[in-house]
Chain A
């Protein structure tokens, strides 16, 4: 895209910080562990049918999960972007909540609510993946949908297009980029998911990610594990490469929204349809959470709040609560800033900077085992012996959240027509003034969304945390998994209390940030009126 910022070097410099961070804490360690541990004789592993089965299962379950997640997300995003209703704010927050729940919690919750014969099946696994990701897809797609100027629809309709035709020929092409982005992220998350597969897939369903863990940790075959890890990266990189080919053909919108798309529900049909869609999505999002909350107050089939009392008397748990909040704040700041830098670099910078988009997905694409093992053999010499350093955890959370924050901000940034900036600069504004008064104002909502998502990712993050946590600095998900794996009913109940707290916590954060978002939204709308 050509913008007035093209001439400034700033966009190249913006790219530097995220690139350095990712290279240093992901790239170098992973290359290090690959080079130092992969032996060529492990290549024979790739020819075994067992590994082929695993690769095939990993791929098709991820494809199915992505498809269903998008199918469910689309109608919900439609309601969120086009209608205005009283419970909208809280429902937006509620359906985003599954995305940040730790996988062990969701796994255990689904075991509670699924009928016995469908547990530990591919169906259970895919359902849980859909559960995790549909709220995220809704957020990504509806954010973009809101950016589509309602007058465009009006114009099409005036010209005689039916609602279906408007959707197919106007809305869908404009949403294509956001949808592709959502699909890519969801696919990657499902392709590399670990905890859910362990719990719901059952022992006979290995994905590449779980196989990497078993090989490296249980069997001590680090070489084979790292080879699989490399294979996983290759598969996803190929996919992303293919997707850049698709994205080139997307339609750019030429206006920017000055009035809100959201209209009150008017006709009876609108009301019925919206009610059905929104309430099913809400029930879907809440059912496992209710199962968790119920488990926290029921021990031995009796109602008791003993576990709740014990949790609030336990100093370890209180400390864990405060650490979780602290890390979330640091990770949120880092992830949002880095995400903003990346988005700006991609949109304003030259073609070559698009590589950042691929770089930021590295922490998601590369198995946590490889990154974790890479870190301990890379940062092992003083003064860079950072094994166990406190800052590693929020940093890891930020890097995990970065691909999401960047993808929330960049599509919105891309929709800003350069003519507005040109007008501003013709009127004498400097690049910085123009950016602050135009770009920043328009992407503010996306920045807030990004901050919300990254804070909650940090709160629920499990994979990297389990590698980097030190005693006395456990985050909530780590506490939960430790309590769950220890014998005794009361400890199990305490785990479910913490899981319930985590859900409340994240829902509150999302809700508060969403409220800020919509109030700022209201002021911009008023100022336009």
Chain B
């Protein structure tokens, strides 16, 4: 009958359906030159939480949409980017810090770009990437935090230097996230290497161990379970955390306390610099460059303090009042050269494990 498809037609029909299916599956993968339809993928660490509408301005200015993909912690991001170098999962990567920078640069995951905001960016951060492989986007500090009330109740002075932590006054009071599994822990270990040098840091950790320092797996456990100044109400009043933890304690507290419950020992701080970079092999290099410009521009930079609790890399960005009031910016933080870090990191971690964890 004429309205029934013949066997031959049936085959054609099947072929048509399959090709339609394939076409629709591939449809969104066709390269589109029209900027109106481009969506850039921004790969970031899990704790990347800017204001959700922050990219709306970028989209209305350029017509380019931004999809944020969270890909684990920073180490995970770099390892995945290394494996996919040249054929990346995303267009722009946010969040490689100075402890991992050298590994990222060695495996050539980035396409260099000098942003138009370069002159406004923090000079010492910029000096870490002289060839503009990546762009500094924010800075922060990892410091000793202490429970203000715990010390005032006991009329005891809080520890102000790294050396002080080995004093018997502070025996069994310190909790540290392990540098093997936590990025603030790693920064703190590097702080001790910056302070005491390659020859002295091992001895320092041995005395910390004798003084009863507790090593835990991650920052959350250290800060929220063991530290007495957080909601976890642990037993130890000294913890390795961020320089911006005190403002975070205030701003997220409900109701807000009258005085800050925690404070930072400025001389113990290690500077962390975070970078964003264009992933080499992206199909949208020009658009990715525009995004890097936007990420370093004032509007986005001013969003960072209260959302990521870091300092903007752009010197022209203004800091919110709440943040200024409760945070402390160390004047001369401890630092180490990323190349030096990359060269020795495995050995240092092994040494640390042998001293503290066996």
Contact = CB atoms under 8 A, between A and B. Distances in A.
Interface of A: 33, 37, 50, 108, 111, 116, 120, 198-199, 201-204, 210, 214, 216-222, 299-301, 304, 306, 316, 373, 376-377, 380-383, 385, 387-388, 466-467, 469-471, 481-482, 484-493
Nearest to B233: A301
Query: B interface, how many residues as a size bin?
Result: 35 or more
Interface of B: 22, 25-26, 29, 41, 46-47, 49, 52, 67-70, 72-73, 75-76, 78-80, 82-84, 87, 89, 103, 178, 180-181, 186, 215-221, 223-225, 230-233, 235, 242, 245, 248-249, 251-254, 309, 345-346, 349, 353, 356-358
Contact of B82 (A220, A380, A482): A220
A506 to B, nearest CB: 23
B180 A203 contact: yes
Contacts of B254: 299, 304, 306, 489-490
A380 B181 contact: no
B252 to A, nearest CB: 3
Contacts of B253: 300, 488-490
Contact of A482 (B29, B47, B233, B249): B47
B181 A111 contact: no
Contacts of A222: 79, 82-83
A203 B248 contact: no
Contact of B231 (A116, A376, A489): A489
Chain B's interface: helix, strand, loop or mixed, by majority? mixed
A110 B339 CA distance: 41
A397 B40 CA distance: 28
A452 to B, nearest CB: 30
Nearest to B52: A316
A259 B72 CA distance: 53
9 contacts: A120-B216, A204-B358, A218-B349, A221-B346, A467-B72, A485-B218, A488-B252, A489-B230, A489-B252
A382 B223 CA distance: 44
A377 B83 contact: yes
B223 A487 contact: yes
Nearest to A200: B217
A407 B145 CA distance: 50
Given A204-B357, A219-B346, A388-B69, A490 B252 contact: yes
Contacts of A37: 83
Contacts of A214: 180-181
Nearest to A203: B178
A490 B224 CA distance: 12
Given A218-B181, A220-B103, 14 more contacts: A198-B181, A203-B216, A204-B215, A217-B75, A217-B76, A300-B231, A306-B254, A376-B84, A380-B89, A471-B70, A482-B47, A485-B47, A488-B249, A489-B253
A217 B82 CA distance: 11
B266 to A, nearest CB: 19
B231 A216 contact: no
A383 B29 contact: yes
A387 B83 CA distance: 13
A380 B75 CA distance: 21
A111 B46 contact: no
A388 B218 CA distance: 27
A487 B248 contact: yes
Which 9 A-B residue pairs are closest in the complex by CB-CB distance? Answer: A488-B252, A203-B178, A204-B357, A487-B248, A489-B231, A217-B75, A383-B26, A218-B75, A217-B76
